[in-house]
């Protein structure tokens, strides 16, 4: 067991390095790999060409959620009096992940997931608008796929990728429409999956660094002329109103009186 941390003072440098580099929610990218059998169904329905399927969903995805997990435990009540212990025996993953898409004027996003789910259920549409319908679900290997959700930052130096294993659309949320003020139509789809894998292929240890101190050997350094205060001025570039040049700082150090001696102040 580690020792208890006593209260400590933190300086600005510590704060900048720890909490002034927050991650932003608006930098992410989703990749949807459409199964080949589903892609064939989309092409037969003239929805979209196979080369544009994945990219269309990637660009139009506007909201996603990083997945979570929990630990399943057994309770032990009789080992110690008055104490309930819990021991972990399994990790449990979320069973669904939600993704929201902007819908274009051709309703491509809605059509993609409607046909995908129709293919999963094996829905027969040969009966037309009849009340009779037949279902014969397809094999999981034919409709399950792999999804990738990558979280990154503006500089794209640090990122991590969630891989959803054996994912498939399981629910399309209702999309209300109204005569009120027009808004963008969005389609929210829930994906079922077996588990997720978090990978971190690239990470940098960059942090905010303080500016490097200026060299003490620089010539005409105002820190010497003004008693240690660096004003960032080069005396050799300026003259006074009376035409008297600023004297350069010597190695022995010039005081304020020496620097301004002989000036003709109007």
CATH dotted code for 23-75+82-202: 2.30.110
Question: Residue 169 has what pLDDT?
Answer: 96
Look at residues 202, 198, 209 and name the one whose alpha carbon lies nearest to residue 158.
202
Cα 237 to Cα 48: distance, rounded to the nearest angstrom:
67
* Tens of pLDDT, residues 177-203: 999 999 999 999 999 999 999 987 555
Structure token digits, residue 184: 């963008």
**Residue whose tokens read 């004003």:** 231
Tell me, what's the pLDDT at 241? 42
Whether pTM exceeds 0.85? no
* Domains of the chain by residue range: 23-75+82-202, 215-266
In contact, 206 and 157? CB cutoff 8 Å = yes
- The rounded percent of the chain whose pLDDT value lies above 90 is 43
If phi > 0 it is left, if psi is from -120 to 50 it is alpha, else beta; for residue 167 that is: beta
Return the pLDDT at 133.
74
pLDDT in tens, 130-172: 667 778 889 999 999 999 999 998 888 888 999 999 999 999 9
Q: What is the pLDDT of residue 201?
A: 57
**Low-confidence stretches of the chain (pLDDT beneath 50):** 205-266
């Amino acid at each position: 067991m580690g020792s208890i941390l006593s209260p400590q003072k933190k300086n600005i440098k510590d704060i900048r390095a720890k909490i002034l580099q927050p991650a932003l929610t608006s930098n992410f990218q989703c990749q949807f790999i459409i199964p080949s059998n589903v892609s064939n169904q989309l092409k037969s329905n003239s929805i979209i060409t196979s080369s544009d399927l994945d990219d269309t969903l990637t660009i139009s995805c506007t909201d996603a959620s990083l997945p979570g997990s929990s630990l399943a435990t057994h309770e032990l009540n009789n080992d110690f009096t008055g104490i309930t212990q819990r021991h972990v025996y399994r990790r449990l993953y979320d069973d669904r992940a939600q993704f929201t898409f902007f819908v274009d004027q051709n309703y491509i996003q809605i059509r993609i997931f409607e046909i995908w789910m129709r293919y999963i259920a094996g829905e027969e549409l040969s009966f037309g608008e009849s009340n009779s319908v037949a279902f014969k679900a397809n094999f999981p290997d034919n409709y399950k796929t792999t999804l990738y959700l990558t979280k990154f930052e503006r500089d794209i130096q640090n990122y991590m990728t969630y891989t959803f294993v054996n994912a498939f659309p399981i629910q399309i949320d209702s999309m209300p429409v109204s005569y009120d003020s027009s808004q963008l139509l969005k389609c929210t789809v829930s994906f079922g999956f077996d588990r997720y894998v978090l990978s971190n292929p690239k990470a940098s240890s960059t942090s905010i660094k303080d500016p490097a101190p200026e060299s003490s050997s620089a010539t005409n350094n105002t820190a010497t002329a003004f008693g240690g205060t660096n004003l960032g001025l080069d005396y050799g570039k300026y003259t006074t109103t009376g035409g008297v040049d600023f004297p350069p700082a010597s190695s022995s150090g010039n005081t304020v009186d020496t620097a301004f001696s002989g000036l003709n102040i109007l």
